[in-house]
Structure 1
Amino acid sequence: MEDATESTHGSGNVSEPEEDRYADSDFRPSKLGTKEYWEDAYQKELETFKDIGDVGEIWFGEESMSRVLRWMDKAKIPEDAAILDIGTGNGAFLVELANHGYKNLMGIDYSPASVELAKNVLQAEGLADVSVKEMDFLKCQGELKDFDVCIDKGTFDAISLNPTNTEEGKKLYVQALKGALKDKGFFAITSCNWTKTQLLERFNEGFEFVQELPTPSFQFGGKTGNSVSALIFKRVT
Structure 2
Amino acid sequence: MAAAMAVAGERPGRPAGPGPGPGRGEEPFSPSVLGTREHWDAAYERELQTFQDIGDAGEIWFGEESMVRIIKWLEKQKVPHDSPVLDIGTGNGVLLIELAKSGYTNLTGIDYSPSAIQLSEKVREKEGMSDIKLKVEDFLAPSAELSGFEICIDKGTFDAISLNPDNAVGKRKQYVRSLCSVLKPEGFFLITSCNWTKEELLNEFREGFEILEELPTPKFCFGGRIGNSVTALVFQRKKVRPSILDKLD
TMscore range, shorter length = over 0.9
| Aligned pairs (5 A) from 1:144-223 | 144-223=146-225
Aligned to 2:246: none
Query: What secondary structure sits across from 1:127 in the alignment?
Result: coil
Q: What is the deviation of 1:11?
A: 6.5
Query: What secondary structure sits across from 1:172 in the alignment?
Result: helix
Which has the larger Rg? 2
| Aligned pairs (5 A) from 1:51-66 | 51-66=53-68
RMSD: 1.5
Aligned to 1:22: 22
- Amino acid paired to 2:164: N
Aligned to 1:89: 91
Q: Which runs of 4+ in 1 moved over 6 A?
A: none
Query: What secondary structure sits across from 1:21 in the alignment?
Result: coil
Aligned to 2:119: 117
CA distance in 1, matches of 2:79, 2:115: 31
- Amino acid paired to 2:84: A
- Amino acid paired to 1:208: E
What TM-score does the superposition give when structure 2 sets the normalisation length?
A: 0.90
- Amino acid paired to 1:220: F
Say whether the 8 Å CA contact 1:190–1:230 is kept in structure 2. yes
Residue of 8, 13, 19 corresponding to 2:11: 8
* Residue deviations 1:98-127 (CA, integer Å, cap 9, x gap): 001000000000000000000010010001
- Amino acid paired to 1:119: E
More moved, 116-125 vs 140-149: 140-149
CA distance in 2, matches of 1:114, 1:221: 39
Say whether the 8 Å CA contact 2:220–2:228 is kept in structure 1. yes
Percent identity, aligned pairs only, is: 54
Higher relative contact order structure (alpha carbons within 8 Å, sequence separation ≥ 6): 1
- Give the length in aligned residue pairs: 233
CA distance in 2, matches of 1:94, 1:11: 34
What TM-score does the superposition give when structure 1 sets the normalisation length?
A: 0.94
Query: What secondary structure sits across from 2:130 in the alignment?
Result: coil
Consecutive unaligned residues in structure 2, runs of 5 or more = 241-249
